[in-house]
Amino acid sequence: MKYIFIITIILTSFNSTLAWESDTIYVASWNVENLFDNIDDPDKNDEDFLETGNKRWTNERIFNKMKNLADVISFMNKNKGPDILGLIEIEHKYLVEKLIINFLPNRNYRVVGFDSPDSRGIDNYLMYDEDIFELIEYNKIPILFFDEEYSTRDILHVSLKYFDEIIDVFVNHWPSRRGGEERSNPRRINAASTLKRYVDSLSVVRERNNFIIVGDFNDEPNNYSLNNILKAKKIDEPEPELINLSWDMFEEGIGTHLYNNEFNMLDQIIISNGFFDEIGIEYVDNSFKIVSDDFFTHTDGKKKGSIIPSFEGGKYIGGYADHLPVAARFFIVK
């Protein structure tokens, strides 16, 4: 009887795990490092990504880039692929559509997004499984700069219906640190202020705040833009409206982007406190992760653990991207 009881407990636990996994949704975000076509856009600075440009961006290299991206995307979520994926540094929507058609046929993915005023033409898009979610609406949130001639990527806002709940996903790619901290920091503060105003306004009309904010913020969790303006706090702080899931890993010195042999936590997932109220959709505790595996990362040397990029030292090496993806799980309360 003792052994039967133990086996029953094990089987019950196993079945509960299977049920938990089948009922969760897997949300990820990835800066894929310059997914460009090789067609000249006269209004954008895309000359490097022509067949005759500095990157010698041939059809073969585009094919290889897409295949590599698809390999990592398919690896996510225990080889099932993500249910929702924010994509950063995409030149045009049709490139993601080609990626889906040619390399990700096993999921009913749809992509939404817009061209933005970014001078290089890199934009934010969202990919989601149409068998799981109903698209309610999507729009762009412009980030305006009144004191200088500067343009950046719009924030993409997508509303999806999951069961009877609405999930609002925001895909971000905030201004880079090019030109130094003193010059660039106000631009990211501006981006944070823009997003905060929008999120605060939306929270007034939503019955429950199921906000998922993803992207490459070009700042870390403790920087002023995220910590003080957006007010994305640690999960254990008293009554935070927004929770930055990457804080713990950041404090451990873990990151998504390697720069000067140091990891930076530039890619994050920030969620609203509505995912902790035990109603509707909930965050799966401790499920935030940096997506990594030996097949697409350096396995030794100073760059160990970092992703293998498309270019290294200006030389094409046919890798994946220059940022690691991040992901988290959520479940519906039944």
* pLDDT band with cut points at 50, 70 and 90 for residue 180: confident
When pLDDT is cut at 50, 70 and 90, the band that residue 334 belongs to is: confident
Contact 138, 307 (CB under 8 A): no
User: In this predicted model, which residue has the larger pLDDT, 187 or 238?
Assistant: 187
Question: pLDDT tens for residues 9-38?
Answer: 343 334 334 334 557 999 999 999 999 999
pLDDT at 1 over 80: no
Order of strands across the sheet that contains 211-216:
134-141, 155-162, 165-173, 211-216, 267-272, 242-244, 232-233
Give the DSSP letter string of 94-155: HHHHHHHHHH-TTS-EEEEE-----TT--EEEEEEETTT-EEEEEEEE----SSSS---PPE
Q: Is the pLDDT of residue 322 over 50?
A: yes
Q: How confident is the model at residue 188 (pLDDT cuts 50, 70, 90)?
A: very high
Average pLDDT score, the chain: 92
Domain residues of the chain, as ranges? 26-332
Q: In percent, how much of the chain has pLDDT > 90?
A: 84
* Alpha helical stretches, state H, 23-115: 59-79, 93-103
Residues 211, 272 contacting (CB under 8 angstroms): yes
Mean pLDDT along residues 58-78: 98
Q: How far apart are the first and last CA of the chain?
A: 33
Segment 197-240, tens digit of pLDDT: 999 999 999 999 999 999 999 999 999 999 999 999 999 998 89
Q: Which residues of 38-49 are buried (b: 16+ CB within 10 A; e: fewer)?
A: beebeebebeeb
**Helix H segments across the chain?**
2-22, 59-79, 93-103, 181-205, 224, 247-251
Contact between 102 and 66 (Cβ < 8 Å): yes
- Over residues 85-118, the pLDDT tens digits come to 999 999 999 999 999 999 999 999 999 999 999 9
Q: With H, G, I as helix, E, B as strand and everything else as coil, classify residue 195.
A: helix
- Region 300-319: mean pLDDT is 95
pLDDT at residue 181 greater than cutoff 90: no
Q: What is the pTM of this model?
A: 0.92
Distance of CA 96 to the CA centre of its chain: 15
**Domain 26-332 in CATH: superfamily?**
Endonuclease/exonuclease/phosphatase (3.60.10.10)
pLDDT in tens, 167-177: 999 999 999 98
DSSP code at position 284: P
Residues in contact with 171: Cβ distance below 8 Å, sequence separation at least 6, in sequence order: 29, 86, 87, 88, 113, 124, 125, 126, 155, 156, 158, 214, 215
Q: How far is CA 74 from CA 28, 191, 304, in A?
A: 12, 31, 23
Average pLDDT over residues 185-206: 97
Report CA-CA distances (Å) from 3 to 7, 9, 144, 275.
Answer: 6, 10, 67, 39
